[in-house]
Amino acid sequence: MILLQKQCKGLAALRSENHKESSSFGKKNYEMASMCFEKAGEDTWEKRAKTSGFGAAADSLRGSNTQEAHVMFREAAEIFDSIGRADTAA
């Protein structure tokens, strides 16, 4: 639990302008960011972290497994749409 608290310490920074440099989210540690947001009860931010993780994973699969990448991009787009961020998915 203490380790989780230390790893989640930067959650508040996500709401600031400089969140990309100072958080798990900005360091592309989407799984950790998602878990931290879940523990904090931040549903929208949890979904944003998950979809960003899906997008990054799909991006890395584009060349080797286009079908799986397409599924991941679609899933991310649907979640972005569900939280009113369809523009981000585009």
Residue 2 in any domain: the answer is no
The whole-number pLDDT of residue 26 equals: 55
Q: What is the pLDDT of residue 22?
A: 41
Q: To which residue do tokens 């949890």 refer?
A: 46
Q: What is the pLDDT of residue 17?
A: 46
When divided into structural domains, the chain yields a total of 1
Q: What confidence score (pLDDT) does residue 34 get?
A: 87
Q: Which stretches in the chain have pLDDT values below 70?
A: 1-27, 88-90
Distance, CA of 20 to CA of 63 (rounded, Å): 27
Tell me, yes or no, whether 8 lies in a domain.
no
pLDDT of residue 59: 85
Long-range contacts of range 19-27, CB-CB < 8 Å, 24 or more positions apart?
Answer: 25/49, 25/52
The one-character DSSP state at 29 is: -
For 7-27, the pLDDT digits (tens) are 566 655 554 544 444 455 555
Helix (H, G, I), strand (E, B) or coil at 83: coil
Question: What pLDDT is attached to residue 73?
Answer: 87
In a domain, 35, yes or no: yes
69 assigned to some structural domain: yes
| Structural domain boundaries, residue 73 | 28-90
pLDDT for the residue 21 = 43
